Chain A
Amino acid sequence: DAGVTQSPTHLIKTRGQQVTLRCSPKSGHDTVSWYQQALGQGPQFIFQYYEEEERQRGNFPDRFSGHQFPNYSSELNVNALLLGDSALYLCASSGRLRQASHEQYFGPGTRLTVT
């Protein structure tokens, strides 16, 4: 049973550039959430996708956008990169949005470095 997968593993970008990160959820899961984790901190919620729509959003600017595809995979796009966007970006998947347990399972993350 494949778990949550993310690509790429590492990425180096220059300030002002744009980046796209990808996530495939765990088999049987249809809800995908994205998190940003700075070094030494806990994950910060960016947004959540369910049925190809953004359902919830954390306190992140519009430079952060996403998409969910019919096969439940998801992309995170970040425009006009800033040095402060350097972090580990985590994707988490879970079962149906209204499911009581709603346990999230995380992928290995994408380490983004902005220079």
Chain B
Amino acid sequence: EDQVTQSPEALRLQEGESSSLNCSYTVSGLRGLFWYRQDPGKGPEFLFTLYSAGEEKEKERLKATLTKKESFLHITAPKPEDSATYLCAVRGYGQNFVFGPGTRLSVLP
């Protein structure tokens, strides 16, 4: 059974304090690992797709990396507007998406 866990559950950072979020997964044949951002009461917003170990993608202050068992979302010099829940999901041979519980990030000014 495909599974995704995320840590920490919640993270509070000062503005400018860089950190990383973790996504650990088990999947039968990885066909993609996806990162989403979700603001309260809204739908998830697509950020990145990673397909193979060693792959990296960047967007503004965010950088996602992938190994065979986990992915990291690095946040460099975060701003208060980066506060959100960050969701990780995997797609395996079963083809449907399996989401983790998310990490709630708060960036204080």
The answer to whether A4 touches B32, judged by C-beta atoms less than 8 angstroms apart, is: no
Segment of B11-19, B56-64, B75-83, B89-97 engaged in the interface with chain A:
B89-97
The answer to whether A45 touches B31, judged by C-beta atoms less than 8 angstroms apart, is: no
Segment of A13-21, A61-69, A72-80, A98-106 engaged in the interface with chain B:
A98-106
Query: Which residues of chain B are near A25, meaning CB under 8 Å?
Result: none
Interface SS, B side: strand
Query: Which residues of chain A are near B96, meaning CB under 8 Å?
Result: 33, 45, 48, 56, 58
The answer to whether B41 touches A44, judged by C-beta atoms less than 8 angstroms apart, is: no
**Chain A residues touching B, range:** 20 to 34
B54 to chain A, nearest CB (A): 18
A81 at interface, CB cutoff 8 A: no
Interface SS, A side: loop
A109 at interface, CB cutoff 8 A: yes
A111 at interface, CB cutoff 8 A: yes
Chain B positions near chain A (C-beta within 8 angstroms): 4, 31-32, 34, 36, 41-46, 49, 87, 89, 91, 94-102
Selected A-B contacts with CB under 8 Å, 29 pairs: A33-B96, A40-B101, A42-B87, A42-B101, A42-B102, A43-B99, A45-B97, A45-B98, A48-B95, A48-B96, A56-B94, A88-B41, A90-B43, A92-B97, A97-B95, A101-B49, A102-B31, A102-B32, A103-B32, A103-B34, A103-B46, A103-B49, A106-B36, A106-B44, A106-B45, A107-B43, A108-B42, A108-B43, A109-B41
